[in-house]
Structure 1
Amino acid sequence: MITQDSIEALKARLDIVDVVGSYIELKRAGSSFKAPCPFHDEKSPSFVVNPTRQKYHCFGCGAGGDSISFVMEYEKLTYPEAIEKLAASVNFTLHYTDGGAQKKRSNLLETLNEWYQKLLEQNKTAQEYLHERGIYASSVERFGIGYAPASAETLRFLEQRRLPSAEAIEQGAIGKGDDGRLFARFIERITFPIHSPGGAIVGFGGRTITGHQAKYVNSSQSAIFNKSRLLYAYHLAREAIYRRREIIVTEGYLDVVMLHQAGFTHAVATLGTALTAEHLPLLRKGEPKVFLAYDGDKAGRAAAFKASKLLSASGFDGGVVLFEGGLDPADMVKNAQTEALNTLLHRPIPFIEFVIAEMIGSYDLQDPKAKESALHEGIGFLKTLTPLLQEEYRPYLASKLGVSPSLIRLGNTQNTAAKPISLSSHEDTEELSFVKTILEYPHITDSILDFLDVSMFRHHAPEFEAAIRAEPNNPRLNALMMNNSIRVFEGDTGVKKALLTFLENHYTRELKKINTQNTISFDQKSYLIRQLRDKIARLKKGELVPLG
């Protein structure tokens, strides 16, 4: 049981604006903050957070309380679970009572990181790699960069330190195979500790130096690690972000390290994933301008396009900086091109202009039909903006297309960012979650297609097919990516669990259909029923059933 003194001390450490703002977007309203209530559907914000009283209250549904009660309600946690999650986020050590004796929660990730840092000092290959990339020793220390050894060494270290394996699994430091054997998640990699905005280590990123198939890996999803909500080095950049009212978002850990080294201490990075709606509450803090510093290759432009649509529809100010010729921010700092880098970062392409240019650039405007499609897509994008911005950018879109502004008919000029475009008359959130997961993590497409095909989708087959074909300008997919109510399945475990449920439901429906079929022979019907029952039984045991 957690001691009351610990709970009171933790409450004194927490700021409710930071806590609530890590889950939902808050906008200042006088001395308080407002947002649409996360606990019931509403169009006008009636959810108020009061930093003076450290309380929240919804005038619509009556929900209210402090930081702990918010996390309990939002995450559906028990009181002790919410306290432990908040304590972990601010690196606070709780005290427990157990028959009168006190015990402390182990600082497992901090202990592991200290060991990784010592191992880096002994590994010449890792040191040479960092030196070749231009990273100073002072940066290695500031960012806590380390080195993870072979799996057996990590397991032995945890055992020697008597660090509980259950907690190590829970926090993503180690995993357990299907055969029950434990393994370290970071093997022969340079490690980058990842912190919560409050400064607590919540996971790691790892870069291989011995040729592992995956160049970068991150900690697995856990109660304290959600890569769609975290930004690398935000805890170090926070002061500069608030002071400068600017934030640079890059694609890589080394870009951030080198940018800080060159004085751009307001730089952060996403954790190997695209910028998502879940990042927006953190980006909103301090109301900075957002600058996307991405590679100028095809993948970088696609990522910048997607992020720019999200940020412009959400009302962010800022722009895109693309690095051409195979260079990235880290390379420019290493090559002593700091002045050129500074010039680039101060000449971003505004989000809306970048989106329109990329959108139009994907069509052959010499083809009248293609030009018409570009017009419709451009109008669709403008409708995600506020009425004022729609009117301001009508002439810009028209000029890019080479048409009269009178053709840009926007109709109802309500801002649709708050109300995502309807994808179909019947919205199946489970199907849409598979589509969104493929869009967020395209590398898992092949593995999902081992078990699913388009015929299994009753309501969203067009979206599933478009996601598989990776259509970057598909309006249905763009609407889905801006629909915050559709979740993404996180990690291998999340995807497997979702597949098991989806497939069991699908094959159960198929079984009912076969049972009522009168147009096939008895033998064929019996054979199909046996097959379907076998598949359902295997799925219930946790075994994924391939197609065929």
Structure 2
Amino acid sequence: MIERDSIEQLKNRLDIVDVVGNYIELKKSGANFKALCPFHNEDTPSLVVSPSKQIYHCFGCGAGGDAIKFVMEYEKLPYPEAIEKLASMYNIHLNYTNEKKGHDLHKILEKVNKFYKKMLDSTPDAMKYLKERGVFESSIEKFELGYAPSSEKTINFIKSNFLSVKDAVETGILGTDSKRVYARLIERITFPIYSHSGRLVGFGGRTITGHPAKYINSPQTKLFNKSNLLYGYHIAKEHIYRKKEIIVTEGYLDVIMLHQAGFDTAVATLGTALTPQHLPILRRGEPKVILAYDGDKAGVNAAIKAAKLLISSGIEGGIVLFGEGKDPADMVNESKIEELNKIFHKTEPFYDFVIEKTVTMFDIENPVEKEKAFNECIKVLKSVSALYREDIRFLEPIASKLGISTAKVKKAISVNTKYSKSDYLQTKDTKELSIIKTLLNESSLIDTVLDYIDEEHFIYHKNEFRLLKEGKTDHPKLLGVLLDEDLKTFSEEELRSELLIFLIKYYSQKLKKLAKDKNIDFKEKTFKIRKYREIIEKLKKGELVTYESFGTI
């Protein structure tokens, strides 16, 4: 682990304007800087960077934090790796505790990767296979392709280089059974697999000796989890962020050949279906997702499953299916680049694809089957955001495929659909937020103010006040309050006056509501009315009443 003192030293050296400015263009705006937010699509700058407070906040999507948080979000890195990235950028030395196990495991993977790469150069059959598939030398180097020899040679390399056999087993390079230790990859072309942050975590292997298992991956380890990894992402990510597009394929060679042909946003799942664990990676940079799958039955089923997942997650994109036994790698090898370009520009939207494939599963000439198809389509439609369910673009595909009216489709989803303005409309109360902003800027006043108000007094911004009370001042919502130029910061005297007005309004409303309440006991109602009136009278005289004195009312 990185020592806390090292992290603090790094923080003291960082300037948020410099850090953020390394990634996006900033423009001066008064005391702050503004930019188009990289975390959501927008045409008008809503990201504010404050050099005085050393924080950023987007008033469009709510993203916010310090320099480290920005790098975490932009680069999609966990906290320790963002620290290491910044330390590298600013040439700052980090000290670590004695917990170096993770570093030792990465070190073994890196050394074995160099061994595999060296072995590829001396294995003609492996080089011949890659050449026949059309892989250039430059691509071999870019993707660090290698070759895993016999089990004996790999084990000898590990032992002769004084690497821990136990750690090699832990990384998945070696395996064990009751009698022996063996290499997991034998006589296979190797594809090193990196995390999205650029750390080597495992390998994929392709047989060149006709083994029944054409491709295999490293087993599940503390470093390697194929359900949240995408092959080639560490190379493609900058292109993905810039082009706002990601092509998801099914194979290592598809990725390599697509990159070779200029489709540099290509990645691949690791022999597994797209999973919910992949979603955070796919959302990074908000790209359009293109699923490029085989057109056989297995490929279509995988595409349907993946498309349903992406629809329900609100991710936009489309499907491309490759038929006739061809895949993207084959098409690049056959120089069909222009054809590929046209294919990727004419994808079928996820929703339309799923509805079409769902309907074809049933004999809609049969009324019973047609009803089943209708119900299945409605399930898909209900997975779409509530704001879009009644949009003609989502109603029409079902109506068209089943030969029914859009009104019938709309009626089917409206039965159990409830809309709430709170789902998408947030009221902004400047008085409440100005009180919170004042307390954020003048933290010495918080304890005093808490004697008089609590979150129950806030109608619109209870959550923000609760976060303030809990000391979570680095929360994006509070960072947004700090940087909101429409909000005022009160002086101590102004704050007292505002609190009096704020509380008079609150208890006056409580009093009116209580007077109309017919479900409360008469004796209790009379008592509370008297207490509220006493509180309001004191407030009007300029006396702040301690919250504890009326907390049981």
- Band the TM-score falls in, shorter-chain normalisation: 0.5 to 0.7
For 1:202 and 1:10, how far apart are their aligned partners in 2? 27
**Partner of residue 129, structure 1:** 129
Confirm or deny: 8 A CA contact 2:158 2:164 kept in the other structure: yes
CA deviations 1:286-305 (Å, max 9, x no partner) are: 00000001111111111111
Count of residue pairs brought into register by the alignment = 371
Stretches of structure 2 lacking an aligned partner (at least 5 in a row): 21-38, 49-60, 420-553
CA deviations 1:47-106 (Å, max 9, x no partner) are: 9863425469xxxxxxxxx99xxx99xxxxxxxxx9699979x999986577xx9x9736
Confirm or deny: 8 A CA contact 1:120 1:127 kept in the other structure: yes
**Displacement of 1:169:** 1.7
CA distance 1:255–1:212, change in 2 (3 Å): same
For 1:113 and 1:94, how far apart are their aligned partners in 2? 26
Larger Rg: 2
Within the alignment, does 1:400 sit opposite 2:401 as a pair? Answer: yes
Confirm or deny: 8 A CA contact 1:96 1:104 kept in the other structure: no
**Displacement of 1:225:** 1.0
Confirm or deny: 8 A CA contact 1:147 1:190 kept in the other structure: yes
| SS of equivalent residue, structure 2 residue 388 | helix
* Runs of 4 or more consecutive aligned structure 1 residues displaced over 3 Å after TM superposition: 1-13, 26-32, 47-51, 53-56, 82-88, 90-98, 103-106
**Partner of residue 254, structure 2:** 255
Amino acid at match of 2:176: K
CA distance 1:296–1:172, change in 2 (3 Å): same
CA distance 1:264–1:95, change in 2 (3 Å): same
Confirm or deny: 8 A CA contact 2:40 2:286 kept in the other structure: no
**Displacement of 1:387:** 2.6
Within the alignment, does 1:118 sit opposite 2:118 as a pair? Answer: yes
Which gives a bigger RCO, structure 1 or 2 (Cα 8 Å, sep 6+)? 2
Select 1:412's aligned residue among 398, 416, 425: 416
Within the alignment, does 1:169 sit opposite 2:183 as a pair? Answer: no
For 1:239 and 1:394, how far apart are their aligned partners in 2? 36
Confirm or deny: 8 A CA contact 1:95 1:105 kept in the other structure: no
TM-score (norm 1): 0.61
**Partner of residue 239, structure 2:** 240
For 1:335 and 1:162, how far apart are their aligned partners in 2? 45
Confirm or deny: 8 A CA contact 1:85 1:223 kept in the other structure: no
CA deviations 1:456-485 (Å, max 9, x no partner) are: xxxxxxxxxxxxxxxxxxxxxxxxxxxxxx
**Displacement of 1:178:** 3.2
Confirm or deny: 8 A CA contact 1:386 1:413 kept in the other structure: no
**Partner of residue 327, structure 1:** 326
**Displacement of 1:6:** 6.2
Q: 1:247-286, aligned counterparts within 5 Å?
A: 247-286=246-285
| SS of equivalent residue, structure 2 residue 246 | strand
Confirm or deny: 8 A CA contact 2:194 2:200 kept in the other structure: yes
Confirm or deny: 8 A CA contact 1:95 1:104 kept in the other structure: no
**Displacement of 1:405:** 2.5
For 2:94 and 2:186, how far apart are their aligned partners in 1? 31
For 2:108 and 2:83, how far apart are their aligned partners in 1? 16
Calculate percent identity across the aligned residue pairs: 50
| SS of equivalent residue, structure 1 residue 389 | coil
For 1:389 and 1:344, how far apart are their aligned partners in 2? 27
Confirm or deny: 8 A CA contact 2:40 2:285 kept in the other structure: no
| SS of equivalent residue, structure 1 residue 286 | coil
For 2:150 and 2:162, how far apart are their aligned partners in 1? 19
**Partner of residue 385, structure 1:** 384
**Partner of residue 39, structure 1:** none
For 2:339 and 2:177, how far apart are their aligned partners in 1? 49
For 1:124 and 1:115, how far apart are their aligned partners in 2? 16
**Displacement of 1:343:** 0.2
**Displacement of 1:7:** 5.7
| SS of equivalent residue, structure 1 residue 228 | helix
Mean CA deviation greater in 392-401 or 317-326: 392-401
Amino acid at match of 1:145: L
**Displacement of 1:388:** 3.6
| SS of equivalent residue, structure 2 residue 263 | coil
For 1:381 and 1:404, how far apart are their aligned partners in 2? 17
Confirm or deny: 8 A CA contact 2:7 2:83 kept in the other structure: no
CA deviations 1:347-367 (Å, max 9, x no partner) are: 000000000000001111111
**Partner of residue 347, structure 2:** 348
**Partner of residue 480, structure 1:** none
Confirm or deny: 8 A CA contact 2:68 2:83 kept in the other structure: no
**Partner of residue 220, structure 1:** 219
Within the alignment, does 1:50 sit opposite 2:64 as a pair? Answer: yes
Q: 1:100-499, aligned counterparts within 5 Å?
A: 105=104, 107-179=107-179, 181-391=180-390, 392=392, 393-408=394-409, 409-410=412-413, 411-413=415-417
CA deviations 1:478-505 (Å, max 9, x no partner) are: xxxxxxxxxxxxxxxxxxxxxxxxxxxx
For 2:9 and 2:200, how far apart are their aligned partners in 1? 20
**Displacement of 1:404:** 2.5
CA deviations 1:390-445 (Å, max 9, x no partner) are: 22322220110112233321123359xxxxxxxxxxxxxxxxxxxxxxxxxxxxxx
For 1:270 and 1:312, how far apart are their aligned partners in 2? 18
**Displacement of 1:333:** 0.5
For 1:231 and 1:51, how far apart are their aligned partners in 2? 27
Stretches of structure 1 lacking an aligned partner (at least 5 in a row): 18-25, 33-46, 57-65, 73-81, 416-548
